[in-house]
Amino acid sequence: MTFLSVLSSFLGKIMSSFTLNQLPLGHEAVISRLLPESLPFRRKLLAMGITPGCKVLVVRVAPLGDPIEIKMRGFLLCLRRNEAKAIEVMEVIA
C-alpha cells in the first residue's frame, strides 16, 4: 500500500496535486511533498512543522497575495508566496 492510498482512505477522496500558493481561500489540503525549489529554506519549513501528510487550511491571503496565512497542527502560520510555491499539496474532498 502506498502512502497516498493510505492517506486517501483515511482522509477521503484526494484530487489532483498543485502547489500551496494555488490553494483557494478556505480550502483544505494535505501536504504531499516539498519540491526541489525548497532546498534553500527546507530546514526552516521542516522546523515549522511543514511535513508530508500534514493537513493545511488557507485562512487568509494578503491583498497583494503575499503572505499567505495557513492553519495547521492547531496554529496559524504565515508563509511567503515563494515558500508556498515550493510545497506540493493535494486537496481533500470529504
**Given the DSSP bridges, would you call strands 55-61 and 68-72 parallel, antiparallel or unpaired?**
antiparallel
Each residue's pLDDT tens digit, 68-79: 999 998 899 999
Kindly provide the residue ranges of all beta strands, DSSP E only, lying in the chain, ordered along the sequence.
13-19, 28-34, 55-61, 68-72, 75-79, 87-93
pTM for the full model? 0.75
Integer distance in angstroms from the first to the last C-alpha of the chain? Answer: 21
Q: Are 56 and 20 in contact (CB under 8 A)?
A: yes
Closest CA to 60 of 47, 35, 78, 42: 78
Cα angle 67, 74, 51 (rounded to 5 degrees) comes to: 70
Fold of the 3-93 domain: SH3 type barrels. (2.30.30)
**pLDDT tens figures, 8-49:** 555 555 567 889 899 889 889 999 888 887 778 888 888 888
User: 3-state SS of the chain: helix, strand, coil percent to 5?
Assistant: 30, 40, 30
